[in-house]
Amino acid sequence: MKRSAKEWSLRVAILMGGLVIAHLGVTLFLLSDLGSDPFNVFVQGLFRSLTENGALPFLSHGRTHVAISLLIVAVLLFVDRSYVKIGTALCMLFGGPIIDLFTRLLQPLLAGGSMPLRLLLTTAGCVILAYGMTIVIRSDAGTGPNDLVALVISEKAGFRFSLTRVTVDALFALGGWLLGGTAGLGTLVCMFLVGPVAGFFLPVNGRWIEALVRKLCP
């Protein structure tokens, strides 16, 4: 069914709210300094392998991240273009700036803490990330390319999202580590926590989002 401009606007607003929440979680995770998330371990490993011995000097971690994201989008456009929506572009455009803003606000307060505090930040960051990510997904206005990998596999194959997310994250982390990326304790926490938490919140957030859309856009 074709959506009205009002419904699209509401869904995009919900997506942006979820994106802010998710990237608050990412920022807390990064400030804990206990390792990168699985996808960025893969990005880092690929970047290091491609630039070894001075090859491809124009590449950076950020450019490698963008290139992988664009490749995922290109594959999805071929497999099922219905997954690629305006929110996919918004996630790619605004994710970095949101993290930068939260980092400037929170780094003076949280950086350099004790190990228990860093573990708490890692755990809280992963839970907040998973919660915000499910709002983005259930907004049905699109989601980030790396999150789409697990979502598409889960829906196409009929697997549970939580298990699929853990498996995809494990493959990203292992592939990145084999390519020379750096994994840490935070990587493991993220790998085993985000999927199950997201699996719990997906139906919860799906229900209230659809109820809100029906109420405001009858």
| pLDDT tens readout for residues 109-137 | 887 778 888 899 999 999 999 999 999 99
- Looking at per-residue pLDDT, the higher value among 33 and 160 belongs to 160
pTM: 0.90
The pLDDT-based confidence of 1 (bands split at 50, 70, 90) is low
| pLDDT tens readout for residues 170-195 | 999 999 999 998 888 999 999 999 99
Cα separations (Å) of 148 from 78, 83, 136, 152? 14, 8, 11, 6
- Residue 74 predicted with pLDDT over 70: yes
Report the pLDDT averaged over residues 69-74: 92
pLDDT value of residue 51 = 86
pLDDT value of residue 114 = 84
pLDDT value of residue 135 = 97
| pLDDT tens readout for residues 2-40 | 789 999 999 999 999 999 999 999 888 888 888 889 998
